[in-house]
Amino acid sequence: MSSDRLADARWFKSSRSDSIGECVEVAFLGDGEIATRDSKVGGTESVLLFGTRQWDSFVRGLNA
Q: Specify the pLDDT at position 51.
A: 93
Q: Which pLDDT does position 43 carry in this prediction?
A: 75
Letter for the amino acid at 57?
A: S
Q: Which helix H or strand E contains 55, and what residues bound it?
A: helix 52-63
Count: domains in the chain? 1
Over residues 14-50, the pLDDT tens digits come to 777 766 767 888 999 987 899 998 887 777 778 999 9
Asked if 55 contacts 63 with a C-beta cutoff of 8 angstroms, the reply is no
Instruction: Write out the residue range of the structural domain in which residue 41 sits.
Output: 3-63
What predicted TM-score, i.e. pTM, was given to this entire model? 0.77
- Greatest extent of the chain over all pairs of C-alpha atoms, in Å: 35
